[in-house]
Structure 1
Amino acid sequence: MTAPRPDRPPTADLARLAELHGVATSYRPAPDRTVTASPVAVTRVLAALGVDASTPETIRAALAARERELGARLLPPTVVAWQGTEPAALGALPAGTRLHVETEQGATRTTVEGLPPGVHRLTATAPGGRTAEAHIVVAPARLPAPAGRSYGFLVQLYSLLSRRSWGMGDLGDLGELAAWAGRVLGAGFVQVNPLHAAVPGTPTDPSPYRPSSRRFPDPVHLRVENVPEFAHVEDRERVAGLLERAARLRESVLDKGALIDRDAVWELKREALELVRAVPLGPGRRAAYDDFLAAHGSALQDHATWNALAEVYGGDVEQWPDPLRDPRSAETARARAELTDRVDFHTWLAWLTDGQLVAAQHAAREAGMPVGIVHDLAVGVHPGGADAWAGRDHFATGMSVGAPPDAFNARGQDWGLPPWRPDRLAESGYAPYRALLQALFRSAGALRIDHVMGLFRLWWVPQGLPPTDGTYVRHDAEAMLAVLVLEASRAGAIVIGEDLGTVEPGVREALRERGVLGTSVLWFERDWDGDGLPLPPAAWRPDCLATATTHDLPPTAARLTGEHVELRDRLGLLTRPLAEERASAAADTAEWLALLTRLGLLDGAGFTAGESEGVAVASEGAEESGAAGAEARAAAAEAEVDVAEAAEVAEVLAVHRFLLRTPARLVGAWLPDAVGDRRPQNLPGTWDEYPNWRLPVADAEGRPVTLEELTSSARLRALAEVLREGTREGGP
């Protein structure tokens, strides 16, 4: 047996075999550079797809088998039919092939012409009796563009605390923010972080981008008092005690500077919800719960079973007894029966959370928001979580999703998320993907898809290898897009793709063709093919959500002042000397400020005549001696702070005025920017060094700002007024 050597390129046979299975043997990090994938990585990725490529002999045998399979195949497992066009796969069928279609609506057809949108079953019978069955996805040609132009706020929900929340922002807070922002500020949407169910642990991973389940939401986001049965809990003394503990937890964050403690919040809410569950559901509520159980079927039962088992054995499936690692084993069935009460508890929690998500979207639309809540879809799930356990046949064993080395990270990235197998998805008619989208669109006016390039290809990293030794694996991008467009159109929702960073040629064009919006962040929008200078607003693409920053980037005030460089220096994250990093950041900011000034968006950098005069008078007074001099120096210091803050506010407003000058259909403002918060919610490259995903929204001094205080913030209202005027019909 001859193992592939990592220092040699894949052989011609291995390269051909990989190509036929959608596995890349090279990639291009830049137009003028090609990197060859490691044969070891290619071989291990093929093994995860069920293909033995361990020796030259097995490679030749697998290649011959694959070529025979494809040569004999009448249809691919899933066929795509964009309405108004003939599927390419049908054009290649032999003359005289008969078609039979069973639609998801229950009708039968002998042609694909005029099929309604949906996922149907297609049977093709060629002359001679050769047959093939396939799923056929019929989708509108594209999603409609958003109606008009609108602006909205971007916020991590856990960070948005009100004086009613229990230590972290919740769905009640989300509904309140949306109702207020829509009715008072004329905002069109609120975008939040993924609200997927987390993996329980001690402590729980606070990142919303490595969940246990993407299909089902996390009940930690529940507003307990909004559950109707809460008012009927008989033990009012215990309820009062829970509310007192909730107040202490809330005050520890808002008034004492503690970090958000998701585990403490969930411990308290779980105790409260156990009490609430003892209250019988009324007839109407019981009927609604039964409908929810029927609608989600075995998928919900699997999710709840995993959670019940995790209460007994912990959140790491690898530590469970072997038979329980298989969701279909007889032992798992027995455990489910023994844990019936706990399984029902978790299905009930999923129902409650789904209801409050729907209520938040209803509040947003009732407030006049044309879009409403924008939910976020993470790239993948935790390898030991509920989705990976329940749907393990659809996941690639021993693989993790990541990113290859690039200009921002020379070592590449391993995100620790198992990828879906493209072949298994296609064979199922993309059933898990469809179910996931349907669940999310129930309560979404729009869906942001993190790393939307993953619909086309993903970087797979074999377990035990560094991210540099991975390779790309392709999905059927047309099918992935068709399912996305189908489900979004059924929900009447918008789709926003996060397409930042290195994007394969043709991806943005394909997304735009199907009506999927992109994401444009100010600091990255430069003329990279020309002089590298900031891109003028007219040159921006219209089909996008335009923002100044994101949760992974410095807030605008920190970027403008260079504080983000100082933070990275304190944490040892700089790759160049501090002086170089400072100079580079200052030059970058200066170029943007110069453009804002040329466009008339930053006249005087925010210094009004009165403010400038006040600084001058105070400074002159500072030359005096004695008590009067001390007072004057204090007045000068205060005036300088006021002027500095005014200049900062003016620059933040100018940045957003610039976004409004672009043709972007949606303009988003990072909510912490509206109150001067300097701290990123997540600092990539850190774990314990920085409190990622645990910071409340705060002002420039780091003092937490409640939802109630946000509504009276003059700084926020000034930004909202700029955005509201700029997105009115006829605005810039």
Structure 2
Amino acid sequence: MGLARLAALHGVATSYAPSPDVTVQVPDDTVVAVLAALGVDASTPEAVTDALTRAEATAAERLLPPTVVLWSAPEEERPGIPAALTALPPGTTLQVEPEDGGTPPLAEPATDPAAVVAGAPLGVHRLTARAPDGRTATVTLVVAPHQVPQPPPRTHGFLVQLYSLLSERSWGMGDLGDLAELAAWSGRHLGAGFVQINPLHAAVPGDPTDPSPYRPSSRRFPDPVHLRIEAVPEYAYVRGADREQLDALGEKADALRASVLGEDALIDRDAVWALKLPALEILAAVPLGPGRAAEYADFLAAQGQALEDHATWYALAEAHGPRWHEWPAGLRDPRSPETARARRDLSGRVGFHRRLAWLTDQQLAAASGAAREAGMAVGIVHDLAVGVHPGGADAWAQQDAFAAGMSVGAPPDAFNALGQDWGLPPWRPDVLAASGYAPYRGLLQGLLRNAGALRIDHVMGLFRLWWVPQGEQPTQGTYVRYDAEAMLAVLALEAHRAGAPVVGEDLGTVEPGVREALERRGVLGTSVLWFERDWEGPGQPPLPPETWREDCVATATTHDLPSTAARLTGEHVELRHRLGLLTRPLDQEQAEDRAEVGEWLTYLERLGLLPGGPGDEEEEIRAVYRFLLHTPARMVGVWLPDAVGDRRPQNLPGTWDQYPNWRLPVADATGRPMTLEELAASPRLHRLMDVLRP
């Protein structure tokens, strides 16, 4: 009983419900390990008693939680007063200091919470409370808009993994120049309102580098592997031997691109970086003009210590390898004297990595600008991965914010009886709250700098995450709860400042109340055609289009699912059979798949969306997207490979080296890779996009 009470005080679950009629008890050893990662000793009954006594005493003594949220209200309503303020002892005085710290308090001290917070502008402020008994507390006050910005009533756009989109100018993988071209072309000629891409987060260097964009070194800064070399302004001023070397690298890049576009070829991120790194070193040696130098200085000032840490980690990784846990002891601490000396000794490389972050930021801004100039209503939709690599730059620079010895994953469910371990260290909710969510705010600010909108992978993680103790199976994990109100408030504030809508990936198991909370704050969900069924109806038929939710991105598939062509033809079942991933006989899986696809095609025909009936694959794909247009969804996403009949998934969950995850260029129905230029001229693509034109 004491352990359960202690766990509850720290947001650690001692049981969970994988389905409404099933409750699973979490092993005590798991609860003890998770509490230890939160700095709470529960290793013995005596330790539990001591920790519980301290926690309850702290809670009783505390005037306010570390972070208080005040939601603004629509014009016709008054903002509600946070419960934490109404629960203060009578006579407690309150005062709010603005976030910039450069002006006097927003109002005189007062005992009426409504009067104190009434004039507080949107932002992150300091709130001081002084009780009559002498207790004081200074905490963070987040004043947030009641909703994130909203997209237009209806818009459509492409969903694409940027690395898979090669043009005749990119160096072996899709780059930010290709992104700008895709946005400009699709916005101007196809009426597209957005392009949603995979995370562009900085990767952990390796041999080979993990190609997954969802296990990055840093979510705060983008990866310079996406740079278009020729678009760096200093490229024009390279002369002499450096120009000869740069031209030679360009010729090698041409050969690499040609090989990737050949039969059965794969994107090789490390080969791309092996060419871009020396090219960027040449460009970084070109002196900046006065205007460029001023821009760079402004960028450095704006990014501050976060960029300094990021660049230092990459310089140290070059010298000592990418696993910082194995570095010399002093270098494992970003604030140690040894790290300060190393930063000075490696100042040239630290400066180089700072420069790369700036150049990448500039090209991201250019892509965003191209989308706006093309008339896109939303623009580039950037993606936020759920976590970072434990050995990467963020985990090194923000060690106190991450739970040591823990990994994020998912509990067992109907699709995966063993659960999942994603190998990503979770943020500590207590440290986030105590810091006023500073790491989270900085992350969002960095991502939203050049975003038309933001997609959040596994958005349920704003509410709770499944923590797995190191060395244990995912089945031995438990949920740890976050302050969802504060997480949503910070998100709403930063999205408001950037003018960016937010899309949450809310597929899979979602606890009750989460979708409702997200909808209340204006966060769009994600609806995939094959999963939208009347789960309560007899036979669980397809959900009629008019009953779909409005506040969502509606799509036929995602990067983790079969393409629509593969789904319609059953090729995704055959692929899983070849890789030994099926849990039932092939004929049984195929029969079930054919029945499901047949049901959908019959339904599409009945709705008049497939007038010629089944049998024409291309027309069936168009019928799927016609169906999506019949839903009230705010945004309709076209998986770009669907437009040319690509059969291959970009990622096949459950595989590692059995399948080339995250390394496939976009290809046509025969598997032949296609360049961006070929895509733009594809009659098949244009026939599909004609369906979506107003």
- Please state which band the TM-score falls in when normalised by the shorter chain: over 0.9
Partner of residue 366 from structure 1, selected from 362, 366, 373: 373
Give the residue type in structure 1 aligned to 2:602.
A
SS at match of 1:328: coil
Residue 568 of structure 2 corresponds to: 560
Partner of residue 214 from structure 2, selected from 203, 209, 221: 209
What's the offset of the Cα at 1:534?
Answer: 0.9
What's the offset of the Cα at 1:530?
Answer: 2.2
Residue 133 of structure 1 corresponds to: 138
- Kindly indicate whether residue 84 of structure 2 is the aligned counterpart of residue 89 of structure 1: yes
Partner of residue 695 from structure 1, selected from 657, 664, 670: 664
CA distance in 2, matches of 1:688, 1:254: 21
Residue 200 of structure 2 corresponds to: 195
TM-score, scaled to structure 1: 0.91
CA distance in 2, matches of 1:236, 1:334: 35
Say whether the 8 Å CA contact 1:605–1:650 is kept in structure 2: no
**What does 1:368-383 correspond to in 2, within 5 Å?**
368-383=375-390
TM-score, scaled to structure 2: 0.96
Give the residue type in structure 2 aligned to 1:55.
T
What's the offset of the Cα at 1:392?
Answer: 0.3
Partner of residue 626 from structure 2, selected from 650, 657, 660: 657
Deviations 1:440-464 (A, max 9, x none): 1111111000000000000000000
Say whether the 8 Å CA contact 2:201–2:223 is kept in structure 1: yes
CA distance in 2, matches of 1:480, 1:158: 30
Residue 627 of structure 1 corresponds to: none
**What does 1:56-75 correspond to in 2, within 5 Å?**
56-75=45-64
SS at match of 1:569: helix
Residue 75 of structure 2 corresponds to: none
Residue 708 of structure 1 corresponds to: 677
Partner of residue 322 from structure 2, selected from 299, 315, 318: 315
CA distance in 1, matches of 2:409, 2:372: 37
What's the offset of the Cα at 1:529?
Answer: 2.0
Say whether the 8 Å CA contact 1:401–1:416 is kept in structure 2: yes
Larger radius of gyration: 1
| Worse-superposed segment, 256-265 or 413-422 | 256-265
SS at match of 1:603: coil
CA distance in 1, matches of 2:481, 2:243: 57
Residue 98 of structure 1 corresponds to: 93
Give the residue type in structure 1 aligned to 2:480.
V
CA distance in 2, matches of 1:16, 1:574: 43
What's the offset of the Cα at 1:256?
Answer: 4.6
Give the residue type in structure 2 aligned to 1:33.
V
Structure 1 unaligned blocks of 5 or more: 1-11, 607-643, 726-732
Say whether the 8 Å CA contact 2:667–2:674 is kept in structure 1: yes
Give the residue type in structure 1 aligned to 2:210.
D
SS at match of 2:341: helix
- Kindly indicate whether residue 39 of structure 2 is the aligned counterpart of residue 32 of structure 1: no
What's the offset of the Cα at 1:112?
Answer: 1.3
Residue 16 of structure 1 corresponds to: 5
CA distance in 2, matches of 1:236, 1:442: 33
Give the residue type in structure 2 aligned to 1:540.
W
Residue 579 of structure 1 corresponds to: 587
- Kindly indicate whether residue 292 of structure 2 is the aligned counterpart of residue 297 of structure 1: no
What's the offset of the Cα at 1:257?
Answer: 3.6
What's the offset of the Cα at 1:145?
Answer: 2.6
| Worse-superposed segment, 102-111 or 676-685 | 102-111
Residue 630 of structure 1 corresponds to: none
**What does 1:226-245 correspond to in 2, within 5 Å?**
226-234=231-239, 235-245=242-252
Moved over 6 A (4+): none
What's the offset of the Cα at 1:719?
Answer: 1.3
CA distance in 2, matches of 1:648, 1:369: 30
Say whether the 8 Å CA contact 2:263–2:672 is kept in structure 1: no
CA distance in 2, matches of 1:573, 1:293: 48
Partner of residue 544 from structure 1, selected from 549, 552, 568: 552
Deviations 1:286-335 (A, max 9, x none): 00101111111111000000000000111111221121111111111111
Say whether the 8 Å CA contact 2:149–2:499 is kept in structure 1: no
CA distance in 2, matches of 1:684, 1:51: 35
CA distance in 1, matches of 2:274, 2:249: 11
Partner of residue 354 from structure 1, selected from 361, 368, 371: 361
Deviations 1:254-277 (A, max 9, x none): 135421000010110001011111
CA distance in 1, matches of 2:182, 2:603: 33
CA distance in 2, matches of 1:256, 1:239: 28
Deviations 1:657-695 (A, max 9, x none): 000111100000000000000000000011110000000
SS at match of 1:81: strand
What's the offset of the Cα at 1:40?
Answer: 0.6
Q: Quick one: percent identity of the two aligned structures? A: 73
- Kindly indicate whether residue 54 of structure 2 is the aligned counterpart of residue 54 of structure 1: no
Give the residue type in structure 1 aligned to 2:363.
Q
CA distance in 1, matches of 2:149, 2:307: 32
CA distance in 1, matches of 2:7, 2:428: 14
CA distance in 2, matches of 1:104, 1:724: 45
SS at match of 1:86: coil
CA distance in 2, matches of 1:584, 1:91: 57
CA distance in 2, matches of 1:356, 1:223: 8
Q: CA RMSD in A?
A: 0.9
What's the offset of the Cα at 1:179?
Answer: 0.2
CA distance in 2, matches of 1:237, 1:147: 49
- Kindly indicate whether residue 110 of structure 2 is the aligned counterpart of residue 119 of structure 1: no
Deviations 1:583-629 (A, max 9, x none): 111111111111101101111237xxxxxxxxxxxxxxxxxxxxxxx
- Kindly indicate whether residue 676 of structure 2 is the aligned counterpart of residue 722 of structure 1: no
CA distance in 2, matches of 1:143, 1:259: 39
Say whether the 8 Å CA contact 1:396–1:420 is kept in structure 2: yes
CA distance in 1, matches of 2:247, 2:61: 70
SS at match of 2:612: helix
What's the offset of the Cα at 1:432?
Answer: 0.4
